[in-house]
Structure 1
C-alpha cells in the first residue's frame, strides 16, 4: 500500500499530529509534545538535547508559540558561528564610535529578543570567555553594549540546544558548570528518528507532499519495499536526512511510485544486509567481497528489524536482543 500523505492535525491516540512542525503519532512524539507544552507554561530556561537533525529549533519555536511570549520576538542564533572577538557586539550591541566602522548605535541579539525568546543553538560550541559573559546576563538581566557607559535591562526567555554531552564537557573543562546549572533548568531530550517506524512513514509522506512543485503533477508515493527499507535505516541525520532522501528519490524516480532502487545506496545496503543474511546480490563468481556486509552493518540491520517487528518498543527489543536498554540506545546512535 502507498503511504498516505495526508496529515491529520487533530490530537488523540494513534492520530498524526503536526505540532508546530514536529510531526508524529508514536509514543516518543506524544511524550515530547507534552514536555514542550509544560515547558512553555513557565518562563524558566530550557535546554534541548538531541542529535543533529532531530528538530531542536522546531522544538524551540514550539515552546515560544505555546508560551505567554508568543506575540513577542523569537530570535535564533547559532553560537558556533560567532567568534569570541565579535561575541559582545553581536549579543550586547554597541554604541556609535565604539570601534572602527561603528558609525551608529546597533542593538544586539538580546535587545532584539527583548520581551520574547532567545534561542541559543549549538550552545556547547561557545568559548569559555563567552560563556562567562552570557552567565552574567542570565543571572542579573543586565548588559552593557560595547562602548556604552551604562547598563541596560533586558527581559528574554532563554531556550538553548546542543548535540553535545555538556556534563562531560564540564568534566573536561570545556563548559562552565555554573552556566550549565543556570540553563539546564528544564531539560527536554528529542528522540532519534531510528525506531520510530510509524513516524518514518508519516514524515516521508509529509516531505513527499512538499515535492510536488519539484516533480510536478501528483504527489509521489512510496512502494512497500522502499518504505520497509526506510524503516530499517539508521538515519544518523534524523528527520533532516529523511527529508533529503525522499526529495532526491522523488526527483529521480522513474514514475510516481518510488521503489527501493530509487533510494540511496546507503539505505539499500542496510536493508539488503538483513534480507539475505550476509550477502547482497548473489554472484556466480564465488566469494565477491564487494557484496558482503560488515558485521556492524549486519548488527544495525538486525537490530532495526527486531525494532520494526515489535512496533518500535525499545524495552521489548532490548529484551529480545538480550541487552540493556542503554546499550540499545547506544547502538541506535552509532553511525
Structure 2
C-alpha cells in the first residue's frame, strides 16, 4: 500500500513538473499575441499619460516601448491598460498585463510577498508635499493640523503617517482611490495639502488651473525607487525587462543616441559598442531575442537621457532636473547599469 501511494505521489509530481514545463513563458505569450500588454497609471504627465487621441507618452510608457522594440523591433507593439494604485498588483498577478510600469515604488514587502519581481529603477524619487502659496507654509514642519489628500493603496499613505507620527504633528487624511481624485479634492479646497512622490507632484501641478499658485515644499520624507514590475518565477522575462532599461543607460554612457546609433553601428571599432549593438557576440540569443535587439531599443526609444529629457526634463511642463537620475559619472547622479558583455 505504501509503495502504491509513493508511486501515485511520484506520478503526480512528474505530471506537475511536465505541466509546469509545458506552460508558455511570458515571452512566448507576448510573441503569440503580437504585442506587450503594459499596465500604466490613469494619468501622470511625464510618466504615463494619454492625450485626447489616446496616444500614450511618458517614462513608464517608454519602458514598455523599449521591451516591444527588443522583441519585435517595433516600439508601437504595445497596448496600455490604465490602472489605479489599488488595481495594479492584482492585474499583474492575474496575467491581465505583462509588465506593470506605473511609477511604482520598490519596497521589501512588495518584492517579497506579492509574487512579483521588480526589475530596474527607471526613476529615483522621494515623497513630498504640495500646498497653495497663499497659505504661507514654508516647511512640512508647519503642517500641524493640516488636512492631507493622497491616493489609496500606495506607499504614500504609510510614509505620510510615519512622518506626522515621528514629528508629533496632527493631521487629517483624505484618502481616495485615484490620483486625479486626490488632486481634484486638493484643488477644490477639500484639503490643505497634496502628498505623493515629488515627480508626481510636479506632474500633477501642471493639471491645475494656475500651477504657479502652488509650491512643493523642500522636505523629501522617503526613498521612492520607481520601476517596472513583472511576475515572479519567469526569470527570462524579468531579464528582458531589466536589460531593456540597462541598454538605455549604457547607451547614454557611451554617447549613443537615437540620432547617431545607425552611424555608430556602421563605423565603430569599439568592441563594447559592437557587442551592445549586435555587430559582434551572441547577446540577443541569450535572451531569445534578435541580434539587433539593443540597437532597436536605442533607435526607436532613445538612450536614458533622451527618455528623461523628452518626458520630464526642463523643456517640458513637468520641468524636473536630472538630480539623482543623472548618470553616476555626473555630479549627484546614481543612475548606473551593469555592462553588456
State the TM-score bracket (shorter-chain normalisation): under 0.3
Normalising by structure 1, we get a TM-score of 0.27
Bigger relative contact order, structure 1 or 2 (CA pairs below 8 A, ≥6 apart): 2
Structure with greater proportional helix content: 1
Normalising by structure 2, we get a TM-score of 0.27
